[in-house]
Amino acid sequence: MISAGEFRNGITFDMDGKVMQVVEFQHVKPGKGAAFVRVKMRDVINGGVTETSFNPTAKFPTAFVERKKMEYSYQDGDLYYFMDGETYELEPIDASALDDSFRFVKENDVCTIMSYKGKVFGVEVPNFVDLEVTATEPGFAGNTATNTLKPATVETGAEVKVPLFINEGDRIQIDTRTGEYLGRAK
């Protein structure tokens, strides 16, 4: 059990049968009246964010979210298969558990699978990936007065905006959280 007075960012707890994760918290002690804890929390299963206030002595059961590193193997329809590196078993995960950043993941990339009581609810991809540009238009000389960007397709099929000097076959680094070009891969 954890009390609301012990909340910290990232803590997960069970509230009314839902697994909630603390995003932000603030202990408030007004001039008159009782102290309270203002909490911004996210439902880890469906991603909804809510704000509420708790009495600091309110108690909640701690929710243990399992995080396991697994290697992405392949896709079959709406199922994505991940391999456990220890047992070599394949775990099918529905496309609904994947967010938009998964478009930058290629086969054999290691991701973190998050589950609660055996039910997978999310997949964390690496923050930065190195991918090869498979298609882009050539840049034109003289178009460098400003930071001009052009669309490019990478090996996973995702499209990103890159500077004019990037050509097909170049390896680039991408921030998967924002989908932005960071630089050439080293």
Mean pLDDT score, 104-129 = 87
Average pLDDT on 5-30 reads 87
Q: What is the mean pLDDT of residues 26-49?
A: 87
What's residue 51's pLDDT?
Answer: 93
Same topology, domains 66-124 and 128-184? Answer is: yes
Q: Where are the domains of the chain?
A: 2-60, 66-124, 128-184
Q: What number does CATH give the domain 128-184? A: 2.40.50.140
- Model-level pTM? 0.70
Cα separations in angstroms, 171 against 19, 37, 88, 137, 152: 40, 48, 30, 16, 12
Report pLDDT for 153: 94
pLDDT in tens, 134-180: 999 887 666 556 678 889 999 999 999 998 888 899 999 999 888 89
Q: What is the pLDDT of residue 140?
A: 67
Residue 95 or residue 145, greater confidence: 95
For domain 2-60, the question of CATH label 3.40.50.720 is answered with no
- Tell me, what's the pLDDT at 144? 58
The mean of the pLDDT values for the chain is: 87
**DSSP string of 32-84?**
SS--EEEEEEEETTT--EEEEEE-TT-EEPBP--EEEEEEEEEEETTEEEEEE
Query: What percent of the chain lies above the pLDDT cut of 70?
Result: 96
Q: Is domain 66-124 in CATH 3.40.50.10860, yes or no?
A: no
Q: What angle do CA 36, 38, 43 make, to 5 degrees?
A: 135
| pLDDT for the residue numbered 128 | 92
